[in-house]
Structure 1
Amino acid sequence: MGGIGIWQLVIVAVIVVLLFGTKKLRNLGGDLGSAVKGFKSAIGEDKEQKNSAEKTSDTLADNSTSATEDVSKTTASKTKETDQV
């Protein structure tokens, strides 16, 4: 009791086919499949953009850290040269 049996699903399927016809249902299924495929590709593109943005920010952070270290090394070496003279 309370559950939907296999025969009830078969009856509903037969009624739907009789109401809409197989051609219209096939077109509806194709449209639904295209919509799902487009949605998945949009999600994938969004993830790719997010990952590339994270990589870019990580690269920029690494480059700025390297640049800061280079500047401090250059400043330290110039200070040593000045002290020696």
Structure 2
Amino acid sequence: MRGIGEGDASFGGTIHYKDHSERFAIRSHHTPFYTSLLEAIIRFVHEGRAEPPLDETVAIIRFLEALDVSLKEDRVVML
């Protein structure tokens, strides 16, 4: 993951395959990303509804933690 301090303000990433790489942009609609993020935070504060749902958030966190352990300890981590 890299951040760009100047220039292109698009939000996305790059997927690396064995023989090539592909860039992708994350655009769900015309609203700027941070505006959508703030709208989700406001909905959560007012309605108590998290986006994504809590079970998905926990699954993402578990995946990232397993990735971290795998990289630090150079081993496969089962989820």
- By relative contact order (CA 8 Å, sep 6+), the higher-ranking structure is 2
TM-score by length of 2: 0.34
Structure number with the higher helix fraction is 1
Structure number with the higher strand fraction is 2
